[in-house]
Structure 1
Amino acid sequence: MPRKASSEPGSASQHAAILNAILRQHFPSFVRKVFSTVNVGDRFVPGRHIDAIGHQMLRMRDGELRRLIVNLPPRSLKSLIASVAYPAWILGRSPSTRIIVASYSDDLSRRLARDFRRVIETSWYRALFPAMQIDARKNTEAEVATTAAGFRYATSVGGTLTGRGGDVIIIDDPIKPMDAASEAERRKVNEWFDSTVVSRLDDPASGAIAVIMQRVHEDDLSGHLLEKGGWHHLRLQAIATEDEDVPLDAKRTWRRRTGDILEPGRAAAEQLDEARRHLGSYLFEAQYQQDPIPAGGTLIRAEWLLTCPDGAMSAPEEFEQIVQSWDVASKVGGRNDWSVCTTWGIRGRKYYLLHVLRERMEFPDLLHRAKELAQRFSAHRILIEDASSGSALAQALRLGEKCAVIAIKPKLDKPARVQRASAVFEAGRVLSPPDAHWLPEYRRELLSFPGGRHDDQVDSTSQFLIWAEERPPTVPILGPIFIPNQPWPEPR
């Protein structure tokens, strides 16, 4: 008698059993199966980034980490992995898990929810996870519940979560790239997270949150959370800018070399060059390189930021004039701007940045610091933008100390002012000390403009450089405002 097919080595049923075992245990393989279900007829391009993301999300499932940020380029299957495959795989293995998935719009949330439903209603998925049963009483466009009291609930960023709680919260593309330039839109997303998301975990001690997105601004949700700390960060650049080891699972590591392309089978160097030309450097560096501050800067380039030995800027007599430039914040608060004073030495056609003060101060402290800095550096002139608190500071210094204060009324908008100042940087006529503690943050702000979180040091710098370039050469040099009794102290 013929043997049953199921008992034959290599039979179809054995192959199916092996495949199902792989799909249950190996998340990247499950992602590939989900892709073929959601994108019928499209070619799946494998990539090691899928293993890298899957590894971190499984660590989150296993409780090894509770806060995960994944940044990677657009069109890299991030939504399919995080919002469709991962919830389906987790609910298949543990149908009582409560999962909330949020995206930047209702339309995107609904589309991803439909893709999720399409997967879990297939015969292959039901055969793979027979214990995962849909509760017909809670099967809506926004929510799919299981008979084990688990669910996948879809919402939009900023949408209501009143009365909802979960074990896992996934935030997928919380802001559209076109909205990222708006401070109001960024703040809305960040405040929504701070005020709503964390409180929606049923068990704050064990609940997990994952944010997966392309970077769109220095102060986007990823930047906001990374600044706070406590997040595991997986940063996958389209083109590696340094050698790095990326874990693929508990045993395997992906060694990325500088210049390696993330998905050479889908986005080769030519396609990435085209994306850079189309988007421009700033957006490409943010969305593809996960660095909202371009490595070379935008209006001001990194190669223009020159330094000189400390000895070249050590004493007041080395310079024709010492000028201080103030950009004064109108309000004091944790998210408000800083008050900044840059101190400059002028020698011929070159400008030496001697010191940067950057603090949040109430007006009495501001006035005290202005006097202190003027005395410390024997300032000849003080430039202050004639607006709000700056006007009050200028008046107080003029009346109380008889200082040579010049009130500046800007004639151009900020980008135009920085563009004017950038020519002086490009000409190599701006120099800084090489090891000043304030220099890294100063350089970062200059290179990030106009996409950075703050621009106070930029404003102070452009104000000085424009004034210095436009000042009449016949204007006599005044004596210093204050004559110190000793050489300059070491700048703090």
Structure 2
Amino acid sequence: VSNSTDSKKEWKITVEDYDVGHVYVASMGGQVTGRRAGTLADDGFTGCIIIDDPLKPEDAFSKIKRDAANRKLLNTVNSRKAKSDTPIIMIMQRLHTEDPTNFVMTGNLPGEWTQISIPALIDDKYIATLPDHIQKLVPRDAERDVQGRQSYWPKKESLQSLLQLEKGGKDKEGATVSRYTFSSQYMQQPKKLGGDLIKSEWFGFYKDIPELQWRAVLVDTAQKTKEHNDYSVFLLVGMGIDGKLYLLDLLRGKWEAPELNRQAKAFLDKHKEYTWLTKPIRYMKVEDKASGTQLIQTLGTYSGVAVIPVQRNTDKLSRFMDVQVHLEANYKDKPEDRFVMVPKDAQWVGEFFEECEAFNAAFTHDHDDQVDTLIDAIEDAVIAINYSPPAA
């Protein structure tokens, strides 16, 4: 740093008494007009723009402030490049589905962008995506949870402390970390906040499957498998003799038609065994459109389970409003009598709740495939409860 530097925000760099560089620092709202990153004189690297945390955590839930941060990236920061290929490096924790990272990675800022995402909890699938020289640095003897996850940086954050935070514990400063905060800031996977149509407290939890009257599989298939499209979902449910609906298992993924058929068969094979307590699966219901139609035609009846086509002629919101009263019933007055029950320790429950809580009337949520199967399950359960067989 040159001896002539006398400002915290502006440094001159020298090598052997020759000026070779210049660093200028400003806040996101600061003045950068008239300055350029890099030079026009030379080819190759001549400078860059580094942005650190363009959005504050406390501003993440304000659309006005999110939009303001995104506009600064486009209108101010991007225009400060000396050349179109002058690099921009942005360092930030994920805060919201519409934060500056999303703004950049969805094509709103010109140029080719690479995103490096570092979640606090990593598994073998994540490790396999790392460059070889980084993979070698990952401790292979680190403690792992039941899902095969370990702390990315065990010396800084132990696995147990991260698992506590994931459940809604307190961080080192004593602040409570919500499931949303953990998913966003720790796991780098922000979720859309919901429209208050479905609340997780409406669901009850069970540890052991009680005696059931029947079991069934509800299926929602996606039309396409691209990243932004919906998932396909297989939901196994059971009607308890206690009059409650039990969600028993859920499989979610993005599959083309041949793989979708294999997944359907594997899901039925996994659950075809039954006892007098659990009862056999009496049907698999599939919406009769797009990839669902070929699934119905391909399977027909599989392992003794009839695949039944379903026509959905009512919009999703109307269908949900018809079953909401049953989902919400008793959760305040008689919490022990909640109608829909979920397994206490199943790995899929967290994502299931997040999708349910994100579901809203404006349909700005990312996905609602699990909600679709939930609605189908409640509809079937209510029909079964209200059905009276004809007299012999």
What TM-score do the two structures reach when normalised by structure 1? 0.44
Q: Which residue of 2 aligns with 1:442?
A: 352
Q: What do residues 290-329 of structure 1 show as CA deviations (whole Å, max 9, x unaligned)?
A: 96544x87211121122112x234xxxx211101101112
Match status 1:304 vs 2:202 = yes
Match status 1:394 vs 2:314 = no
Q: CA RMSD in A?
A: 5.3
Q: What do residues 115-168 of structure 1 show as CA deviations (whole Å, max 9, x unaligned)?
A: xxxxxxxxxxxxxxxxxxxxxxxxxxx95xxxxxxxx249xxxxxxxx602243
Query: What SS does the corresponding residue of 2:379 show, helix, strand or coil?
Result: helix
Q: What do residues 3-57 of structure 1 show as CA deviations (whole Å, max 9, x unaligned)?
A: xxxxxxxxxxxxxxxxx856669xxx9759959xx9xxxxxxxxxxxxxxxxxxx
**1:244–1:328: structure 2 CA closer, same or farther, 3 Å change rule?**
same
Q: What do residues 357-408 of structure 1 show as CA deviations (whole Å, max 9, x unaligned)?
A: 1133333333343334334243112111121221222233336666433322
Q: Which residue of 2 aligns with 1:421?
A: 323
Q: What do residues 390-436 of structure 1 show as CA deviations (whole Å, max 9, x unaligned)?
A: 12222333366664333222232223333333333212200011011
Inter-partner Cα distance in structure 1 for 2:174 and 2:220: 43
Q: Which residue of 2 aligns with 1:463?
A: 376
Q: Which residue of 1 aligns with 2:247?
A: 353
Inter-partner Cα distance in structure 2 for 1:457 and 1:81: 33
Match status 1:382 vs 2:353 = no
**1:68–1:384: structure 2 CA closer, same or farther, 3 Å change rule?**
same
Q: Which residue of 1 aligns with 2:213?
A: 320
**1:421–1:164: structure 2 CA closer, same or farther, 3 Å change rule?**
same
Inter-partner Cα distance in structure 2 for 1:193 and 1:339: 29
CA deviation after TM superposition for structure 1 residue 469, in Å: 1.7
Inter-partner Cα distance in structure 2 for 1:331 and 1:81: 33
**1:196–1:341: structure 2 CA closer, same or farther, 3 Å change rule?**
same
The one-letter amino acid paired with 1:321 is W
* Paired-residue identity, %: 24
The one-letter amino acid paired with 1:380 is R
**1:192–1:404: structure 2 CA closer, same or farther, 3 Å change rule?**
same
**1:188–1:312: structure 2 CA closer, same or farther, 3 Å change rule?**
same
Query: Which is richer in helix?
Result: 1
The one-letter amino acid paired with 1:192 is G
Structure exhibiting the larger radius of gyration computed from Cα positions: 1
Check whether the contact 1:82–1:170 (CA below 8 A) recurs between aligned residues.
Answer: no
Q: Which residue of 2 aligns with 1:160?
A: none
Inter-partner Cα distance in structure 2 for 1:339 and 1:419: 23
Inter-partner Cα distance in structure 2 for 1:167 and 1:437: 40
Inter-partner Cα distance in structure 1 for 2:109 and 2:68: 26
Mean CA deviation greater in 188-197 or 417-426: 188-197
Check whether the contact 2:52–2:90 (CA below 8 A) recurs between aligned residues.
Answer: no
CA deviation after TM superposition for structure 1 residue 445, in Å: 1.6
Q: Which residue of 2 aligns with 1:369?
A: 263
Query: What SS does the corresponding residue of 2:209 show, helix, strand or coil?
Result: helix
Q: Which residue of 1 aligns with 2:135?
A: none
CA deviation after TM superposition for structure 1 residue 80, in Å: 8.8
Q: What do residues 429-483 of structure 1 show as CA deviations (whole Å, max 9, x unaligned)?
A: 000110112222222221222444222211111122123223561359xxxxxxx
Query: What SS does the corresponding residue of 1:444 show, helix, strand or coil?
Result: helix
**1:82–1:302: structure 2 CA closer, same or farther, 3 Å change rule?**
closer
Inter-partner Cα distance in structure 2 for 1:77 and 1:461: 36
Check whether the contact 1:23–1:30 (CA below 8 A) recurs between aligned residues.
Answer: yes
**1:444–1:321: structure 2 CA closer, same or farther, 3 Å change rule?**
same
Structure 1 alignment gaps of length 5 or more: 1-19, 39-62, 84-100, 104-108, 114-141, 144-151, 155-162, 181-185, 200-208, 211-227, 231-240, 246-254, 260-281, 477-492
**1:422–1:195: structure 2 CA closer, same or farther, 3 Å change rule?**
farther
Check whether the contact 2:85–2:111 (CA below 8 A) recurs between aligned residues.
Answer: no
Check whether the contact 1:445–1:455 (CA below 8 A) recurs between aligned residues.
Answer: yes
**1:465–1:69: structure 2 CA closer, same or farther, 3 Å change rule?**
farther
Alignment of 1:188-227 (within 5 A): 190-192=105-107, 196-198=111-113
The one-letter amino acid paired with 1:324 is V
Q: Which residue of 1 aligns with 2:73?
A: 102
CA deviation after TM superposition for structure 1 residue 346, in Å: 0.4
Inter-partner Cα distance in structure 2 for 1:66 and 1:33: 12
Check whether the contact 1:326–1:341 (CA below 8 A) recurs between aligned residues.
Answer: yes
1:164 to 72, 84, 88: 84
Mean CA deviation greater in 447-456 or 393-402: 393-402
Query: What SS does the corresponding residue of 1:460 show, helix, strand or coil?
Result: helix
Q: Which residue of 1 aligns with 2:342?
A: 432
CA deviation after TM superposition for structure 1 residue 340, in Å: 0.9
Check whether the contact 2:233–2:251 (CA below 8 A) recurs between aligned residues.
Answer: yes
Q: Which residue of 1 aligns with 2:152?
A: none
Query: What SS does the corresponding residue of 1:165 show, helix, strand or coil?
Result: coil
Check whether the contact 2:53–2:91 (CA below 8 A) recurs between aligned residues.
Answer: no
Inter-partner Cα distance in structure 2 for 1:305 and 1:424: 11
The one-letter amino acid paired with 2:387 is P
Q: Which residue of 2 aligns with 1:474?
A: 388
Check whether the contact 2:355–2:371 (CA below 8 A) recurs between aligned residues.
Answer: yes
